Structure 1
């Protein structure tokens, strides 16, 4: 009986030590504050937008750095995502109203699915880019979709919106870009 009690005490002690050590690892501070915000929130506002090159559904190549001088609304989405589907009609409407100095790029993160069917069904006319290797998604540290980055004409991230956007939000954020 005493052996069972001792074994139980040792087991509980070991379990407690393991839990405490696991909790300590989770609460260790990252090396820098900017690293903490990047890990938790994606790229920070004021950061230079990482350059990338992706193909569109039509096979054309789009390179972000080629768009310098234009305002860019960079949207990350997927065909299976309900909030992404909800914002697409307003993004299409915005693309028709936006001036020549605004470019909408919709980066699809699930190109193995029927993206072309989705685009046809929703009558989307703005460029849909295919992130087949997930490199751009990773570079922009997208944690949830839809996520949209607003990049000014100098290639700097000026704002970020997570979730489904309305037409008014799109207009407001792009008007604030220089």
Structure 2
């Protein structure tokens, strides 16, 4: 009798656990923060920005936050290098650890043509930013090759000249 009661209690607990896990699962849109196969929500609130969207050309992925003073200096310089490259390298930005207006911040610094994404779990140390670089700090720049492989991750602000040098070294492409 005791064994039957114990089995019934265990079975009831298992059913309850499955129910609770299903009811707390994320919505049907799934996001991934794997460093080589990420998919993040678009900062606009509509759609998803995926690493796969950039296959075929190298990608510079910049992580920023509106409270980051180094990001305020870096973003306009990145935009200038992007314009000099004339589309030979793709750029995208990820709003990470954000408490403010990430879209407004990017727009204020002239970023109107890059895909913008929101890092899922960025402030909980479980997002793409932390998958790429575990040392705290901002900004972070990740360099991907045309096949979506991470070539290098840099912590800290890069000047336009330093960014152009990294791009030349990694991709063999020079800013004009």
Question: How would you bin the TM-score normalised by the shorter chain?
Answer: 0.5 to 0.7
Aligned residues: 131
CA distance in 1, matches of 2:129, 2:64: 10
CA distance in 2, matches of 1:61, 1:118: 20
| Structure 2: tracts of 5 or more residues without a match | 1-33, 172-176
Q: Larger Rg: 1 or 2?
A: 1
Kindly indicate whether residue 130 of structure 2 is the aligned counterpart of residue 138 of structure 1.
Answer: yes
- The equivalent of 2:152 in structure 1 is 159
Q: For 1:33-52, what aligned pairs fall within 5 Å after superposition?
A: 49-52=35-38
CA distance in 2, matches of 1:77, 1:137: 10
Kindly tell me: are residues 162 and 137 of structure 1, through their superposed partners in 2, closer, same or farther at Cα, counting changes over 3 Å?
A: closer
TM-score (norm 2): 0.65
Aligned residue for 1:105, secondary structure, equals strand
Q: For 1:159-178, what aligned pairs fall within 5 Å after superposition?
A: 159-178=152-171
TM-score (norm 1): 0.64
CA distance in 2, matches of 1:113, 1:120: 13
Kept after mapping to 2: 8 A contact 1:74/1:106: yes
- Give the alignment's Cα RMSD to 1 decimal: 2.1
Kindly tell me: are residues 139 and 124 of structure 1, through their superposed partners in 2, closer, same or farther at Cα, counting changes over 3 Å?
A: same
Runs of 4+ aligned structure 1 residues displaced above 4 Å come to: none
| Structure 1: tracts of 5 or more residues without a match | 1-47
Kindly indicate whether residue 64 of structure 2 is the aligned counterpart of residue 77 of structure 1.
Answer: yes
